């Protein structure tokens, strides 16, 4: 299949391009599009045949449900059985935006979209191209991140092309996304709200808005390793991984840098090449063969923003191993480490 990449400007959305993309969706085909978090791989979420194509293109296990994307609050009600008060408050505060809610699904949502579950994940993205595409298509758009299953999520159209060329008819190229990691997922389908995947909207932000404590699914930070089944089926799969093995090193910064530099020296004796994930502050202190800065520690949203791009850039470098310091502090530390920890297969070295 020929994959057409169409540049589209979010400030002046070209009507003809939008209609062409929506036409693919109406014909049960797939369109990749930018959202403010990562690129999504979209199809009509109420059509089992269209959803099935998403699973095939990504190589995604069929028990891993999809998120339905809506463009307006009115579109929520028909998709769910009820909207609990806390969910309504969260939607008012964080939509459009990087929040996905799990609610009990209505009859019209096919089990093919929800991986057989009686609940459905819903998000109203805050990206003009995503919203316009949903509106023009006239249906909720089911969209996982537009990567091949197991690979880092795409934050640029080029990443989508790497994974989806030949598999889908259309990629809308709206440039680099704004946040860089996927939405926070919060489950409102049971009495107590539970965060299933951390993201830009933090537990504290939810608690302030809904006025009740928010739990965190114990599987979020390494449950996979301990055999705890996560509530979001997708969180159990290996994820976000670059081709080379990634090793996380935590401890006092000076010690971490010395440790990694020692490992680089050892690797060089064996003729191996080493990649290092550094920050703007530490980059020139590392002796790796390929040292990539992920952002600045003084503003950790820059780290979230570059995370997947950096992981993917190592796939284009011939490195045998990648070392990274950890980024636990700051507002986004929880969400960043959730992704990095999984990418590293839950392994970490303390120095």
Residues making contact with ligand TXA (CB under 6 A): 35, 37-38, 40, 64-67, 100, 102, 114, 117, 119-121, 123, 125, 143-145, 182-183, 185, 196, 231-235
Strand partners for 324: 248, 277
Contacted by 128, from ligand TXA, Mg ion, none: CB < 5 to 8 Å by type: none
User: Considering the complex, what minimum distance in angstroms separates the CB of residue 189 from ligand TXA?
Assistant: 8
User: Considering the complex, what minimum distance in angstroms separates the CB of residue 116 from ligand TXA?
Assistant: 10
Instruction: Give the whole-angstrom CA distance, residue 210 versus residue 277.
Output: 37
- CA nearest to 199, candidates 37, 330, 346: 37
Residue sitting closest to ligand TXA (CB):
234
For residue 296, give the 3-state DSSP assignment. Answer: strand
Interface with Mg ion, residue 183, by CB under 5 A: no
| Residue 45, both tokens | 């979420």
Q: What share of the chain is helix, strand, coil (3-state, %, to 5)?
A: 35, 20, 45
For residue 69, give the 3-state DSSP assignment. Answer: strand
Residue sitting closest to Mg ion (CB):
145
Binding span for Mg ion by CB under 5 A among 143-151, 196-204, 206-214, 331-339? 143-151
> Maximum distance among all alpha carbons in the chain?
63
Compare residues 60 and 263 and give the one whose CB is closer to ligand TXA: 60
Compare residues 145 and 189 and give the one whose CB is closer to Mg ion: 145
| Residue 106, both tokens | 């209505």
- CA nearest to 41, candidates 153, 136, 117, 198: 153
User: Considering the complex, what minimum distance in angstroms separates the CB of residue 232 from ligand TXA?
Assistant: 3
Compare residues 240 and 323 and give the one whose CB is closer to ligand TXA: 240
User: Considering the complex, what minimum distance in angstroms separates the CB of residue 63 from ligand TXA?
Assistant: 9
Instruction: Give the whole-angstrom CA distance, residue 113 versus residue 148.
Output: 18
User: Considering the complex, what minimum distance in angstroms separates the CB of residue 2 from ligand TXA?
Assistant: 23
User: Considering the complex, what minimum distance in angstroms separates the CB of residue 247 from Mg ion?
Assistant: 23
Contacted by 87, from ligand TXA, Mg ion, none: CB < 5 to 8 Å by type: none
| Residue 277, both tokens | 């994930």
Interface with Mg ion, residue 293, by CB under 5 A: no
Q: Beta strands 184-187 and 194-197: pairing type?
A: antiparallel
Instruction: Give the whole-angstrom CA distance, residue 101 versus residue 68.
Output: 10
Compare residues 54 and 246 and give the one whose CB is closer to ligand TXA: 54
Instruction: Give the whole-angstrom CA distance, residue 253 versus residue 2.
Output: 48
Say which residue the tokens 């190589």 belong to.
59
Cβ neighbourhood burial of 160 (10 Å; 0-12, 13-18, 19+): buried
Compare residues 39 and 323 and give the one whose CB is closer to Mg ion: 39
Compare residues 175 and 251 and give the one whose CB is closer to ligand TXA: 175
Binding span for Mg ion by CB under 5 A among 48-56, 142-150, 193-201, 321-329? 142-150
Interface with Mg ion, residue 149, by CB under 5 A: no
Compare residues 119 and 301 and give the one whose CB is closer to ligand TXA: 119
Contacted by 260, from ligand TXA, Mg ion, none: CB < 5 to 8 Å by type: none
Instruction: Give the whole-angstrom CA distance, residue 38 versus residue 86.
Output: 26
Interface with Mg ion, residue 145, by CB under 5 A: yes
Compare residues 201 and 291 and give the one whose CB is closer to Mg ion: 201
| Residue 329, both tokens | 């502090």
Q: Which residues bind Mg ion (CB under 5 A)?
A: 145
């Amino acid at each position: 299949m020929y994959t057409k990449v169409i540049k589209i400007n979010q400030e002046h959305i070209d009507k003809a391009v939008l209609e062409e993309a929506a036409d693919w969706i109406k014909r049960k085909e797939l369109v990749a599009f930018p959202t403010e978090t990562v690129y999504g791989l979209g199809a009509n979420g109420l059509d089992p045949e269209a959803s099935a194509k998403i699973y095939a293109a990504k190589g995604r296990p069929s028990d891993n449900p999809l998120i339905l994307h809506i463009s307006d609050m009115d579109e929520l009600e028909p998709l769910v059985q009820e909207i609990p008060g806390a969910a309504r408050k969260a939607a008012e505060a964080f939509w459009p935006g990087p929040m996905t809610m799990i609610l009990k699904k209505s009859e019209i949502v096919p089990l093919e979209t929800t991986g057989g579950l009686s609940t459905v994940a819903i998000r109203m993205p805050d990206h003009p191209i995503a919203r316009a595409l949903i509106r023009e298509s006239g249906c909720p758009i089911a969209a996982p991140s537009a990567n091949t299953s197991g690979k880092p999520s795409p934050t640029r159209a080029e990443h989508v092309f790497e994974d989806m060329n030949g598999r889908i008819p259309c990629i809308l190229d709206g440039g680099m996304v704004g946040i860089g990691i996927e939405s926070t997922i919060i489950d409102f389908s049971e009495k107590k709200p539970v965060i299933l995947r951390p993201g830009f909207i933090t537990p504290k932000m939810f608690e302030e808005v809904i006025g009740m404590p928010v739990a965190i699914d114990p599987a979020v930070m390494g449950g996979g390793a301990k055999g705890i089944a996560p509530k979001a089926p997708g969180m159990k799969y290996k994820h976000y991984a670059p081709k080379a093995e990634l090793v996380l090193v935590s401890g006092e910064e000076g010690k971490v840098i010395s440790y990694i530099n020692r490992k680089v020296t050892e690797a060089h004796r064996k003729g191996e090449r080493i990649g290092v994930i550094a920050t703007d502050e530490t980059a020139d202190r590392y002796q790796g063969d390929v040292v990539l800065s992920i952002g600045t520690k003084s503003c950790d949203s820059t780290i979230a923003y570059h995370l997947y791009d950096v992981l993917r850039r190592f796939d284009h470098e011939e490195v045998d191993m990648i070392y990274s310091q950890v980024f636990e502090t700051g507002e986004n530390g929880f969400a960043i480490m959730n992704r990095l920890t999984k990418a590293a297969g839950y392994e970490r070295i303390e120095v």
